Amino acid sequence: MKTLSKILAILSLPLILSACGGGGGGAGGAASYTVPSCTDSGTRDTEYLFMGSYGDGSNGLTRVCASAAYARDATGDGIKVAVLDTGITVNGSNAVFHTELDANVTSFTSGSDLIGTDNVPNDENGHGSHVAGIIAGENNGSGYHGVAYDATLYIYKVLNDSGSSVGNSVASGITKARGDGVDIMNLSLGDSGVIGTTCNTAAECETSLGSTLYTELEASGDAGKILVWAAGNAGKSSPSVMSGAAIYDDDFKETTVIVVASGTDGKIGTTSNGWSSGGSNKCGIAAEICITAPGTLLYSALLDSNSQATALTGTSMAAPMVSGGLALIKQEFSSLTNAQVVDRLFATATDTDEYSQGTIYGHGMMNLSAATAAVGSLQTIGGGNLLDDSNTSYYDLVDNNFTSSASFSNALINALAGQTMQVYDSFDRANFETNVSSFFTSGSYTSQNTVENHMARLQPKNKEKVKHKNLYGNFTMEVDGNYLQSSMFQSAGDFLALGYNQSTNSFENAVDPLSDFFNDSNFGNNYLVNPYFHTGSGQDYFMSFNSNSSFGMDTFTNANGNDLGLAFNLNPLSSTNSDTKNAGDLQIVLGTNYEQNKFLNSSSTGAFATGDMSNTNFTGVKYKKNLGDDFTFVGSGFAGYTHIDKASNSYIDKSTPLLTSTFTLGLAKSNFIKKDQRIGFFVNQPQRVEDGSLNLRVPTSSDRDRTVTYSNLNVDLEPDARQINYDIIFQKAVTETSNLSANLTHVQNGDHSNSSTNQNFISLFYKKTF
């Protein structure tokens, strides 16, 4: 190597300080530019602010918005950062002297002193200790802390006590750090050459640096190691050769980062904004792999003191700011390769206004808030195991959802509480953690329990009913203004019935509305209908065939054909009225229902999608009995087994059959106390899952090989309680032109949850006709 490597720092203050210090202002860069800032949104305590004040309320950490990264739990934990410098101060026991650094410095590795050829990289200059403190000074409640205050530091002494390399000490240090498995190497050192002037090709740069060092740079690039270089303090238009040689060699360009230093005003460091001489080299022709960080008046470890710190200025101080920032990014995103960590650092730098000048600032000012946040859109992975596989599908978060039926929503909420999974940034597939429950919307029975709805079912019908009869049968329509709400066609002899938003089952229509207590509003009037033939979509179609009063067949579908149902009805008992056969008092129902891309009326999309054809096999019993002249008993009960169809690559991996049930019991009395008064009492359990589970297979981790690992989450879908609705309904004919209706409702364990508050409603409606 033709020139000696030297430390790139300027002692900015001759005084040793134990508190925050500051520097003056000054104009740097083009006068027409303003210096932009990022949003430093996290907690900022005295340790955070210890790096000093620049007069505008900012310092080293606030300039790069590190607190926002800390708020996302990025601290550098587990990331190995090598400091190739003058070493670190040790005590008489050859242990780390600084209490701000000792917990984060790993035991010195064999041969870590490349100058003295021993195992103790003792710093007698102070430069290496200062650099180490900027990277990973501990967050221990006193003094200062570094950028990545939980990172693990590996110390290598490659510069002597005068700050110069000896022979091939830098190359040997890089070789040693690579062998020790570090992730990031900080090299706050350089040579006197200038890239683009001293050398213009890879071959020329190798000649300038020497083949030993150059070969090691290529080897480190092949190993994917990140090398962070100080750009140099000579005020040149481009960095030094040692840092900038990568622009001519793709073998190590991808993981090389060059750092220029900003002054107290945020502009390139010069004598006008905190520097005593020289000035930071600019990015120049190396702008593609160059970035800016604060490098002026940064306080960190002092050579011979535990309780005090000193302020140094130079690109030597800016480089460890970036090394610490890279450690935060790497820790935060386990799915990124080292090259992708560098790409994210560059892509998220603040590059507007002053920092838009690429030949000065490269990619701009490091922004750790942006670097640890999503760059593109967050997406779920569609079941694949390799992030970069061309066959792997992704869904934007808004395209993934699961809207659950109230029959099991309580169980789903409880099972998913606290469960997390990974989603991925479309920019680089960086992994982010989110709650699994964020994709799930819970259905609710009790959300419809409002005073308005309870009043509505007692009010007289507002819809206009149109009836038409001809040779072929009867046709009835219910309209609301210009909108068709429901319709029913019944052929002559009642052999065929066609219904729109209205059940065609003869038994249900004979007792619904419930003993004429309620009008035909949807709310509260589905106690006796087949729960597997009810979607409430507003476009449901029913058809029934009745050969005679003994048996019949019902079919059901909706407008888009996603639901298809078929039921056989057996009526072993029947009643007569004026010698005319009516629907049987007892009806037994056997049937099946198919649902496309959903089950139990629970819809899902994206990574939570279900298959094309989930099906439910069900049975039901309906019963009506007149007990004397005044009493009527009605009852209905259904049970079904649902088999969930699995979609390809869905997170819904498998399931057991889901057993569901619903029932209603009711007793009505005419002439209650007085003539023309009626009262009814009804008990209803809405549809509920009695047994069954599904298994969610969700991505929970990813590694540097870009491989995704999934974990199983078994969800028992039986809720922890049983919702029971109690209704008492009273009707009284006051006069020939007026009547009074009242309803008392009590809902216990709403939505089948034992943590829900019981609901009580009293509705009173008086109607007078003039």
Which DSSP state fits 22? B
Measured CA to CA, the distance from residue 129 to residue 74 in angstroms comes to 23
- Cα–Cα distance list, 767 to 200, 524, 736 (Å): 96, 20, 11
Domain(s) of CATH 2.40.160: residues in the chain: 446-768
Positions in the chain short of pLDDT 50:
1-4, 9-30, 579-580
Q: What is residue 2's predicted lDDT score, i.e. its pLDDT?
A: 40
Instruction: Report which residue type is found at 261.
Output: A
Helix (H) and strand (E) counts in the chain: 15, 39
Question: Tokens 């602010």 — which residue?
Answer: 49
User: At a CB cut-off of 8 Å and minimum separation 6, what does 252 contact?
Assistant: 217, 218, 220, 221, 222, 227, 246
Q: What is residue 192's predicted lDDT score, i.e. its pLDDT?
A: 94
Question: What is the pTM assigned to this prediction?
Answer: 0.87
The verdict on whether omega for the bond into residue 513 sits within 30 degrees of 0, i.e. cis, is yes
Tokens matching residue 484: 């068709």
Measured CA to CA, the distance from residue 247 to residue 243 in angstroms comes to 9
Measured CA to CA, the distance from residue 246 to residue 250 in angstroms comes to 7
Question: Tokens 């706050």 — which residue?
Answer: 188
Q: How far from each other are the two terminal CA atoms of the chain, in whole angstroms? A: 109
Measured CA to CA, the distance from residue 75 to residue 327 in angstroms comes to 8
Query: Considering only the top CATH level, what class is 446-768?
Result: mainly beta
What residues are paired with 638 via a beta bridge? 620, 662
Phi, psi of 517 (to 5 degrees): -75, -40
Instruction: Report which residue type is found at 487.
Output: S
Domain(s) of CATH 3.40.50.200: residues in the chain: 42-371
Q: What is residue 483's predicted lDDT score, i.e. its pLDDT?
A: 81
Is the CATH number 3.40.50.200 carried by domain 42-371?
Answer: yes
Q: Is 271 helix (H, G, I), strand (E, B) or coil?
A: coil
- Cα–Cα distance list, 540 to 18, 476, 589, 602 (Å): 77, 16, 20, 16
- Sheet of strand 298-302: strand arrangement: 10-11, 305-313, 298-302
Taking only the tens place, the pLDDT of each residue in 346-402 is 999 999 999 999 999 999 999 999 999 999 999 999 989 999 999 999 999 999 999
Tokens matching residue 213: 């060092």
Q: What is residue 312's predicted lDDT score, i.e. its pLDDT?
A: 94
